Amino acid sequence: MKLPFTLTARLFIAVFSTAMAVALAMGVFSHINLNRDFIGYLNEQAVNRLELARTSVTAGYRENGRSWDFLRQKPELWGRLLRPLVPEAEMPAVKHGPADLTGATRRFTLFDENRERVAGYAGPVEPTIERPIIVDGLTVGWLALTPIESVSPGAEKHFYDAQLRSAWVVGGAAVLLAGGVAYWISRRLLQPVRRVADATHRLTAGDFGVRVRETPGNDDIAGLQRDFNQLALTLQRNEAMRREFLADVSHELRTPLGVLHGELEALEDGVRKLDAQALRSLQGEVAILHKLVDDLHELSMADVGALAYRKSEVDLRELIGVTAGAFGERLHGSGLSLRLDLPEQPLRVFGDERRLRQLLGNLFENSCRYTDAGGALSISARRSGEHAVIDVQDTSPGVGPEHLPRLFERFFRVDASRSRRGGGSGLGLSICQRIAEAHEGRIEARPSPLGGLWMRVELPVHG
């Protein structure tokens, strides 16, 4: 059975393995360097002892008749000759230099001027380090040192083993420390990730109010926490909008359905006669339902990006004139006057003429429905940089600044002045916003100098 590895375990293994590899590499490197450098150190110290020994041997040669016969006849004198180089308890430690810890004196060999061995090391002939014995300007012999090629049992081996044991102890401690640090790092780094994971589970369960504590900084963990909180906030807002939307839809449907139900009951009970007026009333409520359903369908299609657009070059100057002309009777019936301010030259954009006419129609209808009788509707168009700007302004009543950002929300109405008395669905401006965005433009609302509402549409010009 394959055991799953958590992210904590994987991070721990990665950090610990790296530390182990580094510690092992350092151990091997230190072992090689210790072996090589230690032997080199021993040979260097032995050469220093060789220089001291040459002085002592030269003095012995002078004191014994300027001949090596005293060493050939009494080999034990060789050891006495080199004794000042070997530490003894009864001798001052620094009388003839530092103590010999290298065992160099055991590897000294004395040769006469003919290269015949006189005393000292009698092992096999190996590459040696030689120093001449010079007396009165003449070379009377040679003092040779056989270098160390490998550590042999003795004081040097003991020192080497002690250093190796120390290295293993330090290496083991380093590995344990690396393991502890790796565990701490893995736990520390992943603790915020686990908090995000726990919060994600709560978010999946529908708790859109959950948030994670954000740590200061600009690293990936802090960015993940901020992104999660932003996601949770967006989902919370969407959920609130969804519930509000369902409540608004049910409310909008309840009113015409209630009217229809009441009128049908009145007709059924004989309270009201089935005449042309009753049919017109029923037809009016059905028309409201039909428009509401159509608007909801268009809005849902726009939300999912499935609203069809057949774009081509459109002259906004001509389109505004035609659309405004179609609203002539509607404006006259509402007691409103029309003011047009259009450019002399064509104002071309790349868009869907039918959808742009729908956008303009919704704006004009909005003004006709909510502007007080005797007022005016002002429509202007111009080019500003790379955009075509359309301004639709009407007279009172206006909209408070606190309500302007919400005008493009579905079913939003300002109850004080722009209520549903005109029979609107409350979706027209939302549809206008989707159409403007589909044309890479934007629409915004602001207070009008005329006392009412000012709707501005900006679309990219074409050509």
Query: What would the pLDDT profile of 50-62 be if each residue is shown by its tens digit?
Result: 888 888 888 888 8
Q: In this predicted structure, what is the pLDDT of residue 113?
A: 86
Quick one: tokens of 70?
A: 């005293």
DSSP H helices in 327-450: 328-333, 353-370, 428-438
Task: Work out the pLDDT band at 95, boundaries 50, 70, 90.
Answer: very low
Beta strand pairing status for 337-341 and 376-384? parallel
Q: For residues 391 and 443, what is the distance between their CA atoms, to the nearest angstrom?
A: 10
Has residue 210 been placed in a domain?
no
Domain boundary among 282, 303, 324: 303
Cross-strand pairs, 451: 395
Range 77-99 average pLDDT: 55
Has residue 215 been placed in a domain?
no
pTM higher than 0.85:
no
Amino acid at the residue 170: V
Q: In this predicted structure, what is the pLDDT of residue 360?
A: 94
Amino acid at the residue 447: P
Question: Edge-to-edge, what's the strand order for the sheet holding 108-112?
Answer: 117-120, 108-112, 138-145, 129-135
Q: In this predicted structure, what is the pLDDT of residue 433?
A: 92
The answer to whether the beta carbons of residues 408 and 363 sit under 8 Å apart is no
Q: Is 343 helix (H, G, I), strand (E, B) or coil?
A: coil
Q: Which residues of 409-441 are buried (b: 16+ CB within 10 A; e: fewer)?
A: bbbbbbeebbebeeebbbbbbbbbbbbbebbeb
Among 104-118, 151-165, 292-306, 412-426, top mean pLDDT goes to: 104-118
Regarding whether 146 and 10 lie in a shared domain, the answer is yes
Amino acid at the residue 289: L
Regarding whether 267 and 173 lie in a shared domain, the answer is no
Q: For residues 406 and 400, what is the distance between their CA atoms, to the nearest angstrom?
A: 11
The answer to whether the beta carbons of residues 364 and 319 sit under 8 Å apart is no
Tell me: pLDDT of 423 over 60.
no
Q: What CATH number is attached to the domain comprising 295?
A: 1.10.287.130
Tell me: pLDDT of 1 over 60.
no
Q: For residues 103 and 411, what is the distance between their CA atoms, to the nearest angstrom?
A: 102
Quick one: tokens of 101?
A: 């810890």
Regarding whether 198 and 107 lie in a shared domain, the answer is yes
Amino acid at the residue 146: T
Question: Which residues are CB-neighbours of 346 under 8 A, at least 6 positions away?
Answer: 315, 317, 318
Domain that holds residue 431: 312-460
Has residue 359 been placed in a domain?
yes
Tell me: pLDDT of 183 over 80.
no
Has residue 214 been placed in a domain?
no
Q: In this predicted structure, what is the pLDDT of residue 98?
A: 46
Regarding whether 331 and 299 lie in a shared domain, the answer is no
Has residue 211 been placed in a domain?
no
Q: In this predicted structure, what is the pLDDT of residue 418?
A: 45
Number of domains in the chain: 3
Has residue 358 been placed in a domain?
yes
Q: How many percent of the chain have pLDDT more than 70? A: 81
Regarding whether 345 and 391 lie in a shared domain, the answer is yes
Regarding whether 87 and 187 lie in a shared domain, the answer is yes
Q: In this predicted structure, what is the pLDDT of residue 97?
A: 44
Regarding whether 250 and 125 lie in a shared domain, the answer is no
Q: For residue 105, what is the DSSP state?
A: G
Cis (ω within 30 of 0) for the bond into 216?
A: no
Can you say whether the dihedral through the CA atoms of 266, 271, 277, 279 is positive or negative? positive
Cross-strand pairs, 350: 313
Q: What CATH number is attached to the domain comprising 409?
A: 3.30.565.10
Concatenate the DSSP letters of all residues of 56-67 into one string. HHHHHHHHTTTS
Regarding whether 367 and 280 lie in a shared domain, the answer is no
Longest C-alpha distance within the chain, in Å? 162
Q: For residue 85, what is the DSSP state?
A: G
Regarding whether 116 and 3 lie in a shared domain, the answer is yes
Regarding whether 174 and 247 lie in a shared domain, the answer is no
Q: For residues 458 and 443, what is the distance between their CA atoms, to the nearest angstrom?
A: 6
Residue 233: CB atoms within 10 A of its CB come to 13
Cis (ω within 30 of 0) for the bond into 397?
A: yes
**Mean pLDDT for the chain overall:** 80
Q: In this predicted structure, what is the pLDDT of residue 305?
A: 65
Query: What would the pLDDT profile of 184-221 be if each residue is shown by its tens digit?
Result: 877 777 788 888 888 999 988 888 889 988 888 787 78
Can you say whether the dihedral through the CA atoms of 338, 341, 345, 348 is positive or negative? negative
Range 259-274 average pLDDT: 83
